[in-house]
Each structure stands twice: as structure tokens, then as C-alpha cells.
Structure 1
Amino acid sequence: MRYPPSILEDIKSRLPVSSVVGRRVKLLKAGREWKGLSPFNAERSPSFFVNDQKQAWFDFSSGRNGDIFTFLMEAEGLSFMEAVERLAGEAGVSLPVATPEAEVREKKRVGLQDAMALAVTYFRQELKGPKGREARDYLVSRGLVGEVAERFGLGYAPNDRHGLRDYLAGKDVPVEVMVEAGLLIQLDDNPVAYDRFRDRVMFPIADVKGRVIAFGGRALSKDAQAKYLNSPETPIFHKGSTLYNLNRARKPAHDAGTLFVVEGYVDAIALDRAGLANVVAPLGTALTEEQLAMIWRIAPEPILCFDGDKAGLRAAYRAIDLALPGIGPGKTLRFAFLPGGQDPDDMLRSQGAEALRAALDKPRPLVDVLFEREIERSPLETPEQRADCEKRIFVAVAQIADEDLKRHYRQAMRDRLQALFQSPQRREQPGRGQARGPSDVRGGRGNFQKGGYVPPLAASERLKRSALLRPAAGVTPREAALVLAAIHHPGILEAEAETFAELIFDSAIARRLRAALLDCAAESGFGGDAKANLAGFADNLARRGLGDAIRMIEDSARIETWAHPGGEFDRALAGWREAALLHARQSFLNTEIDSVSLDFAVNGGEERFERLKALLQRREALLEQE
């Protein structure tokens, strides 16, 4: 039988050419390709090349070339049908049985793709028409106009229940096909189907061959139930195995040697506008195993780009858990976190393409981000807490399947833990066998960079006076104000309980009060009179023996008037949110500095030193906002 092209493409997408050819030819990595001796001619110098991105092999000694199917046919004498059946079994792809029903399904698939292509034309026309004015204004505000809008096929679905249905009907597309393609919704209790996408800017989603298989729609109305809406699962669209912009990104990724992964359509377009066309995005959900496998086939060390806020960190941590079992030598993830909680589109519009490219230029390795995740999960003040942290780290490392890499990860984590858990006295006076700081002699030669010996990095006088570097025994004014405001203005807890719970406090007093306050809120709730809640919280904390702690934070936060009782709630809430955002940004920056300092202490190097200086300068710049 003749297998449909979609089946053949699925098999090829799951099996890299190098893995199939490598069973018969000894291949060596040569840049972005593989090379080896021809299996068809006797030769001494390699003239046989494999390119996984192009899904092809080339034998210059014989002039032959092809894909994984033709290789088996040429090398083992298989028929095309035999090659397809063997490779389908290896790839885990079920082959259709030669039946009239299978032929009907393939014709239906083609019909669905034709309907999607017509829908693209309709949405493009509506964007340019009188109904698309608001959509055009939105796209102008985001810089998604002209050649960019054309290249990505952006369109508009008007606020009309039957606009697309009537247009496709005029092109002889049956309603059943429109429904099956996910373009219409048909309810059981209403036989009249209506348009799924209404009053939305439309982003076509294509397969690896560039054929539109789905849409993503961004709502223009603030009252829409979902800001972004994707097509449902259909015979031609499976969200978990599709990546936005993959068809455009493959060649640029091959040329650049890497691939960026961002969180959404607009972010992917932002990187493309910044000159980074090698970018893809999942479709509104966390990365799946299938998507990660697709990404790794294109680039063995992709760069995952996330906002630098807590949501971005959570997404990065989920990606780590997904990737750990599959990483290996030369196959991993790298991470880029954008500053100030910005996403790529925000940064492109506010700071320009050069700033966005610079922010992505030095991604961080998976090992660093994994280490930071575990040390930030809980305090490390007691031996028990440190032991728990160490256990979590090595449990995570145990997920790595490759034994050689697992061994290296264990050693890397031991080195980091040793440096982290050293006492301040030992860090100041490194002895034999102890980890050394940035200014210590390395290898008996001294720590020299271009221009001579590098002195110890020191904080400026202003930084020393800052809350960032004040002794942890007390409570910094900002931490005190964040806790105090939550005590005196219970509505802050009601509005921002999750953010409050996730803030990283250096002070044990602040952490104790927060834990007790959250317990009080959970016990008493937020309903009823605010004054009663206030009195209840304060009395409850006093009964728990925290009266002295409250007086301490009141004294520390005395200049933060917005946090004290008696003021307007709106002012207190606004002040709290501003302080929480600044605190989160500085906590994240401090983590970056700690990580780079540790990396520099262990490995040295001018590039690490320059990065550490730049981070310290950024931290000082944040002090202007104090």
C-alpha cells in the first residue's frame, strides 16, 4: 500500500538519521554534521556525511543521498515497504492497515488541511478589512505589522458567530469538516454550529512542513474568559507534540547551532524580530516529553528563555525535572532568565533588540539552576536543614540515566555544597584542601587576568549600608515592612497570600512571623469585619509568644509609614506590592551573584570575573530604588 506522507514524516521526526546510519557506519561529529567512511565504496578519507537537521545523508564518493528509508534500501537491499515497516516499529509509530477506511481517513486529513488553509486566507482578509481596525491597532502597539505580520500569517477573527462558517461554506467546505478541524463548535443541544474563534487576533500554527494545522487566538476583549485560546485536538493537530514556529526555526537553528525555547507565540515572534529566528514555543502549556525530544533532535543544548519572576522560575524547574532522565554527554538544557520579570516582547519594546540579544547571550547551565532550586527551597541554618537539602540534590541527580554524566553531576554538587556550607571563618582563611575564593591563588600561579592580579571583590560603602548586606541577626527594613503591613492590613493577605508565602526572607524573625500569620489567616479566614480580623491576628500572634518579634519589626520598619496601622488600605497594598517586587528582584539577583561567585571560586576565568562584576554593579543600581 502507499503510506500517507504524514506517517512517513512522523517516523522521520522520531528517528535521527545519525542513529539509523550509525548502526552500519562509524560516525564522528564534524561541526553540526556527522562524517564517516562510505558504506558503498572503499575509501580512506571520509566522504560520507549525515545531517540530522536536514534529515538526510550524503555520500560524495558515490553521488548517492537520501533519508532513513533510502539508506536501508541502499545499504541492506530492503524494499521501500520493508524499510518503512522496520523503522516504524523502532519509532513506535503504528502503520495504518491497507483498507478503504484508511484511504478515507487520509483524504479527510487532506480535506482538513485544505480547510485550515482557507481559514488563514479569511482571517488575513478580515484583519485588513473594516472589522479589523481594533486588531490592527493592537498589532501596531506590539510592533507586529508589515513584513512581520505577513511572515507569520497574522489575522483577525471578527466578533461574528457565523463569519468563518459562511466563508468556508462558500468555498464548498462541509460543516462536518469545519467542526472536525476545530474551526467551529457544535453542541449536542444545538445543531447550529458556530465559529470557535471570535474577536481574536489569530496566530496560525503550522506543522514541520509549514502546513497550517491549528490556530491560537489572542482575545481583544478584556472580558473574554480566556486570554489565549488554542484549537482543540484534531486528527491533524496534537498540542503536546507540536511546537510553534518549528517550520521556520529548523534551518536557522542548524545554522546557529542552537535553538531558543520561549513561552508563547508573541515571545517567539519577538526573538525573530530581534534577529533570532531559531526560536520555538510550546502551545500554552509546560513542555512535554515529545516536545523536548523534538527540540533535542534539532539542537542538543537548547536555551530555554523564561521571565525572571517566580512563574518563570517554576517553569524552568519543571523543565529540569522533565529533562534530567534524558540528559547525557553533549545533550542538556541551558537557561536564560530575563531581568525585572520581563518577557521577551516586553524587553524588545522597552529596551530594543540589542538588549534582548545581550540578555540571552550568556545562558546558565542546568547544573547551576538545579543547585539553586534546591538550596532556595528552605533555610539552611541547621545541620538537619542542610542534610535535607543535600539529600534532595542527590535524589534529583539520581534521575540522570547516563552513568558517566551522573558521576560528574555528583562531583559538581559535592563541590558546590562544600563551598556553600563552609563557615565564614574558613572562607576568609582557606586552608589546605579547602575551596578558595575569587582572590585566592590558583594552581600556584596566582589569579591573574589580562592586566595583572585581580584584587578581592569588595562591596562599595553604599552597598555595605544597604539592607542587602546588613547583618542577618536583625530584620531589614523592607522585610520588616512586608510582614508588618500584612499584620496591620489583613486585606493584603487576602489579596497576596501566595506571593507573601513565596518571598525569600533572610531574617529568621520575619520567617517565624510570616508562618504564624499565615496560620492565623488559615484558621480565621478573611470574612467579616477588618478591625476584628486585625485584632484577632495581633492577639493570636501575641499568644504565640511573638510580641517581642512584632515590636522588633515595628522598630525596624518605622520609616515605612505605609506599613503601619491607621493608613488607607489602598496605599498600604500598593506599597506592599512595590516592596515585594523589589525584594523578589533583589533576591533573584543575590542568587545569581552567589552562583557566579561559587563558579568563579571553583573555576576562575576572566569571563566569570567580568560577569560577577556586572552583577554586583546591577545590584548597586537597584539600591537607587531603596
Structure 2
Amino acid sequence: MRFQPDFLDELRMRLSLADYIGRRVRLTRKGREHTGLCPFHSEKTPSFTVNEEKGFYHCFGCAAHGDIIKFAMETESLSFPEAIERLADEAGLALPVQTEVDRQETAKRGELHDVMEAATHWFESQLQSSKGQQARDYLRDRGLSAETIANFRLGVAVSGRTHMRDALLARKFTEQQLIDTGLVIKPEDGGQAYDRFRDRIMFPITDARNKIVAFGGRALGDAKAKYLNSPETSLFHKGHLLYNLPKARETSRSKDRLIVVEGYMDVIAITQAGFGESVAPLGTALSEQQIQQLWRLTPEPILCFDGDNAGVRASERAMERVLPLLKPAHSLRFAYLPKGEDPDSLVMTAGPGAFENILGQAKSLIDVLWDTTLAQGSIDTPERRAGFRSRLIDAAKTIGDDDVRRFYLSDLGDRFKDLGRPGNKWLGNNRLGNGGSFVPQRGGQFGRNRQGKGGWHNGGRGNRFEPAVSPELLRTNLAQKESSMAPRREKLLIRAILNHPALLETLEEDLIKVEFSSVELDKMHAAIIGIAVESRANSVDLESSTLKNHLMERGFSEELARLEADRSLISDGFASADAPLETAAQGIAQLIEASQLHMLQGELQQAELDAADGLADTELERAALRIRKLREQIVVLSQRIADAGDVAL
């Protein structure tokens, strides 16, 4: 059976070579390649490499070489058709049936490629003719050199209803071929077919093999649609392709970077300015297939957006699309231009250096998630902060990869805790490069700043939330030496986790949400979560002794010693190393619920203080509702803790 090249290309594109080979070979990423011990001969020093970008593996020891199909054939003793069938099933691709019709279709596609090549030649020739003067002036005014115009094979579709149609029919192509490629439109009433593209600058669009499959047209006049793309055809599926990808590959490999901009002219202008590692989607938001193609070239491509509201919305759509697809070592970065600028205008007016600076300020995906969520509204009340945290958690939970999702939840949890500490860096002027701000500018106070009362404050070192405390409490050792007198519950929780790290995987998401009053224990808690995730990523079982060694390496020796020496914790058997795992799990679960209860009680105290402080009628009604809901939650949680018994409490 003969398989069409397009089908084989699609099969290779859908499957990650490194992931597939990684099931049989333990691979380590080194730069742009993965290395490991060769599966085809015995060796002690790795000489086997996998190049995801180029789509092949190679062994420098035995000279084994091939693509994903060859690897499946060699390692599973499959014939070529059997390997294709197995890989297609894994990729979710329907296996083509090679019939006489299929052979005719292959020949037809070759003819359609010839039509597109002829159309490109015709558009190029028109640009250089007297009819192309307006288009040449436009391209010159945009700063494009003759070399750049030729390199990107730019042309022009002149005005006139059938100029291109007539020219290609004279070349012995058929009208049906022009219809099948989307170059002409056939009226439903049976009238004469006419050119789809008229009075437009023409941008050829190529597939992964650099064959022209479609066009984009930029209007020269006052057309309703500024940009017009070819329709979907047997050659062209816009969600599967990226403009300039074949040309960008080599530069991307040499620079270890890939830039994604919004339009054709952006790609062409910045390529001319020295940024050849540039691509663009074809008039739509990034698709899953396009993201996978980007990752084949670099693990963290940079998405470059205009600094206006439309650019922010586009970045939000990209973020929502990529979150479920995230996998270890693969993400996106986001660069934002000043308001009123696009890459094309910036390199023309400010030069390549200005654009390079913007790229250097690219934000990580988690930073953009935080900033955009923070910008959705004020967080100056407990309810709003709870809503803010809920939106963050909901977004992170869409991440498909377990380890990446846990890291996100852990990182976001740490940032949220920092909101309540002096000098936190997660509030303030979260600027998008030199452009617009995600977060509206605020004055000195987020809320009340009353002596002895809770609220958001700005003391010159960042915004912070201070809990309500009485003057008497402020004078106690508990307030003055909180770090050395952490509540017994928090110490027990850390001790139980240290002795039973196997429970981290099942309880981790609940543990992330726990807030510690002790700064030292809170840092240790965050470190434990990070160590657990790293161990899973490396497929290493986390033992108690290993966890403690990691913590000592990270500077927690004194805290560990204090926990071990604390005689007040000895009576709680569930936290000891010899406690049954089930007993330890029950105890930790109770401690987590007790922590939640403590948080609710603190919120209730603050709400009651606020209500007693002379609120306006409308505010008083909301405060009363909030108090009632908190009391109901406290009753329910207290009853659940009581019903569970006293394993830990």
C-alpha cells in the first residue's frame, strides 16, 4: 500500500518523536536534542540522540538512523504498513485506503500544486509590470527591499474581474482546477467564474514542505476585508499551518528562539530587520496543531502582541488554548509592544534594538495568568480575594499534565500567600513591557487603614493585608515572636508529612491551599511541595529520609531540628514515623480541615469588626450576609471535624 506524503507528514507532526522513543529509552534533554543509551546496541555511554525539530534519531555508535516510523518498525518488528497502522491509531488518524480513487487524488493534488505555483509566478510578474506601480509604492513605503519582496515571492492581484483566471486558462489549466484551489469563485447561478483576489498585495502561503497551498491578500483600496485568505481546500487547512515556518526553521535552530507575531507584514518586516525566526498564524487564534508545531522548534516560543486591549485579549485566548496542552519543559512566553505599535512599525521607527528589548522582557505564561486574572477586578475584600484565588485555581486545573498542574497550583498558592506580606512583588504596576497595564492604577489605600483593624495598606514597600488584632494581643509573645511559636497544628501537619511523604500525591492539592501563620513553616511547606513534584517528574519515590535531606540542602536544618526536639508533638501517634499510613492520612486530613476552620474563624472575626465600625446601610447588609454565611460554614465544618473523631485533634 502506498501512503500519500501529506498523510505521512501529518502522522509525523501529530506524534512527538522524543515522547515516543522516551517510552523505550530513558532520554535526557541536552540543548536542542535528547540523548540516551542506544536501544539497538549495547553501550554504557550514551551515543543515541533524538532531534525533535528535524524529526529523526541517530546513534553515533552503531549508525542507527531514522524517523518515528522507522523506530516503530525496528523496535517492534513491524512492517512499514503495520507501523503506519499502529502510529495512526495512536495519533487518532484514520488510515487511508489506497484505491484507484486515491491514486487519482494524489495525481490531482500534484496538478493543484502546479496551479498554485503558476498563480504565484503570475502575481509576481504583475507586481513588476506597469499595473503593479501602486503595490510597489505601498511596499516601498512599508520599508521592504527588493530582495525581501523576492524572497517572500510577493505579488499583486490587479483589479479586474477575470485577469488571473484568463491568464491561467491560457496556460492550459482548467477552470475546475482554479475553483478547487480557491483562486476563482463560481457563482451559484452558473455565471462566469471570477477572480477571488483583486486589487490586493499577494502573500503566498506554504505548507511544511514549502509548497504553495494558499494565498493571503492585503487590500490596496477600500475593500470591506483588509485581509483575505484562500478558503479551505484539499491543499490548505489554515489551522494546521504557520506563515513562514519553512523559512524560519533554520534561523530558529541557530538562535534557539521562535517569535510568533500577528500578521504577514509583521513577519516580513522583522525578518528583514534580522529576526528570521518569525512566524504568524493565518488570521485565527493559535490552534492545537500550530502550538505543537511551535514546540517542535523550541520549547518556549515567544508570542508578540500589540500593547492595546485587542493584544491583551489575544494573549488571553492563547493562554486559554495552551493551558490544557502544557507539558514538562514546554510553555509560551508573552511579549507586549507599546500601545499604538506593531512589530512592523516598531522596527521601522525605533530599530531592531528596540524590538530585541521587547523580546527580552517577555513574560512567562504563569505571570500572564496571574496578571490577567488580577486585572479582572479589585481584591480589596475577603470575598474578592477568594474569587481571585478561585479563578486562578480553576485556570490551573485545566492543565492536563499532572506535574505541571501541581507546580502551577503550588506557585500560584505561594504568590497568593505573598499578597498578605509586606513588600510583596505580585501587586503594583504590572506593566506589559512598555505598553498598557493589566492592573488599573490605585491610590495609597485599597481599603480601611484603621489603627488595630484589618485592611489593605500601602506603606511604601508594596500593598499588604493586615489581620484585625487587639492592642492586648499585639503586646503578647504570640504576636511578637510568631515565627518561633507556630501553632501546634501547623507543626503537627509538617511533621506528619515529613514522616509520610507517600501521602503527598493524594493530598497535595488540599495541602497547597493551607495557609501557615509561621513564616518558617510556610517556606518549608512550599519547599516540600516542590520537592515532591520534582521527584515525580524524575520517577523517583520520595522517602522520608530523602525528603529531609533535600530540605537540609535547602537550608531548613534548624527548623527540622526544632520539630524533632518538640516534645509536645510526641503524643500524637498519627504523625510519628511508625504510624500506619491510613492513620496518618486521617490525621493529616483532619489537620487540613482544622486549618480551614481557623481561616474561616479569622474571616468571621474581621467581618464582625467591620460591621461594628459604622458601615453605611448598604454595606451593613452585605456584611451581615457575609457573617451569616461564614457562621454557617463554620458550623458545617466543625460538625464534620467532630464526626470524624479525634485522630489529630
Smaller-chain TM-score bracket: 0.5 to 0.7
Alignment correspondent of 1:168: 168
Alignment correspondent of 1:312: 311
CA distance in 1, matches of 2:295, 2:425: 36
Amino acid paired to 1:111: E
CA distance in 2, matches of 1:177, 1:262: 33
Alignment correspondent of 1:242: 241
The SS at the match of 1:304 is: strand
Alignment correspondent of 1:328: 327
1:148 aligns with 2:119: no
CA distance in 1, matches of 2:203, 2:124: 10
User: Is the 8 Å Cα contact of residues 35 and 46 (structure 2) preserved in structure 1?
Assistant: yes
Question: Which runs of structure 2 are paired with 1:75-154 in the superposition (5 Å)?
Answer: 75-154=75-154
- Flag the 1:168–1:278 CA change in 2: closer, same or farther, 3 A: same
The SS at the match of 1:115 is: helix
CA distance in 1, matches of 2:37, 2:407: 33
CA distance in 2, matches of 1:244, 1:145: 20
Amino acid paired to 1:169: L
- Flag the 1:100–1:437 CA change in 2: closer, same or farther, 3 A: closer
- Flag the 1:295–1:37 CA change in 2: closer, same or farther, 3 A: same
Alignment correspondent of 1:218: 218
- Flag the 1:437–1:384 CA change in 2: closer, same or farther, 3 A: closer
CA shift digits 1:228-265 (9 cap, x unpaired):
00000000100111111111112222222221111111
**C-alpha deviation, 1:469, in angstroms:** 7.7
Q: How many residues align?
A: 437
- Identity rate, percent: 45
CA shift digits 1:426-458 (9 cap, x unpaired):
55xxxxxxx5899xxxxxxxxxxxxxxxxxxxx
CA distance in 2, matches of 1:343, 1:163: 34
**C-alpha deviation, 1:147, in angstroms:** 1.2
- Flag the 1:264–1:121 CA change in 2: closer, same or farther, 3 A: same
**C-alpha deviation, 1:402, in angstroms:** 2.3
CA shift digits 1:307-349 (9 cap, x unpaired):
1111000000111111111213211111000112311001011
Alignment correspondent of 2:227: 228
CA distance in 2, matches of 1:191, 1:317: 45
Amino acid paired to 2:106: E
Alignment correspondent of 2:54: 54
Question: Which runs of structure 2 are paired with 1:445-524 in the superposition (5 Å)?
Answer: none
User: Is the 8 Å Cα contact of residues 56 and 68 (structure 1) preserved in structure 2?
Assistant: yes
Alignment correspondent of 2:266: 267
Alignment correspondent of 2:4: 4
For the aligned residues, what is the CA RMSD? Answer: 2.3
CA shift digits 1:353-382 (9 cap, x unpaired):
111112112311111111111111112232
Amino acid paired to 1:196: R
CA distance in 2, matches of 1:271, 1:17: 31
TM-score between the two structures when normalised by the length of structure 1: 0.67
The SS at the match of 2:331 is: coil
Alignment correspondent of 2:411: 412
The SS at the match of 2:193 is: strand
CA distance in 1, matches of 2:48, 2:386: 53
**C-alpha deviation, 1:403, in angstroms:** 2.5
> After the TM superposition, which of the residue ranges 118-127 and 86-95 deviates more from structure 2?
86-95
CA distance in 2, matches of 1:18, 1:189: 53
The SS at the match of 1:192 is: coil
CA distance in 2, matches of 1:257, 1:56: 18
The SS at the match of 2:224 is: coil
The SS at the match of 1:243 is: coil
- Flag the 1:373–1:65 CA change in 2: closer, same or farther, 3 A: same
1:208 aligns with 2:208: yes
- Flag the 1:247–1:400 CA change in 2: closer, same or farther, 3 A: same
CA distance in 2, matches of 1:171, 1:189: 26
CA shift digits 1:486-517 (9 cap, x unpaired):
xxxxxxxxxxxxxxxxxxxxxxxxxxxxxxxx
Alignment correspondent of 2:359: 360
**C-alpha deviation, 1:285, in angstroms:** 1.1
CA distance in 2, matches of 1:272, 1:232: 26
**C-alpha deviation, 1:405, in angstroms:** 2.3
- Flag the 1:473–1:3 CA change in 2: closer, same or farther, 3 A: closer
- Flag the 1:178–1:90 CA change in 2: closer, same or farther, 3 A: same
**C-alpha deviation, 1:57, in angstroms:** 1.1
- Flag the 1:23–1:468 CA change in 2: closer, same or farther, 3 A: closer
TM-score between the two structures when normalised by the length of structure 2: 0.65
CA distance in 1, matches of 2:160, 2:339: 39
Alignment correspondent of 2:284: 285
User: Is the 8 Å Cα contact of residues 380 and 446 (structure 2) preserved in structure 1?
Assistant: no
User: Is the 8 Å Cα contact of residues 240 and 290 (structure 2) preserved in structure 1?
Assistant: yes
User: Is the 8 Å Cα contact of residues 274 and 356 (structure 1) preserved in structure 2?
Assistant: no
- Higher Rg: 2
User: Is the 8 Å Cα contact of residues 274 and 357 (structure 1) preserved in structure 2?
Assistant: no
**C-alpha deviation, 1:470, in angstroms:** 5.9
CA distance in 2, matches of 1:407, 1:437: 20
CA distance in 2, matches of 1:295, 1:197: 30
CA distance in 2, matches of 1:238, 1:225: 24
Amino acid paired to 2:308: D
CA shift digits 1:41-96 (9 cap, x unpaired):
21121111110111111122222312112222333332222222221222222222
Alignment correspondent of 2:196: 196
CA distance in 2, matches of 1:437, 1:57: 43
User: Is the 8 Å Cα contact of residues 320 and 366 (structure 1) preserved in structure 2?
Assistant: yes
Question: Which runs of structure 2 are paired with 1:298-447 in the superposition (5 Å)?
Answer: 298-422=297-421, 426-427=422-423
CA distance in 1, matches of 2:13, 2:294: 11
**C-alpha deviation, 1:471, in angstroms:** 5.1
Alignment correspondent of 2:16: 16
Alignment correspondent of 2:594: none
- Flag the 1:414–1:26 CA change in 2: closer, same or farther, 3 A: closer
Amino acid paired to 1:282: P
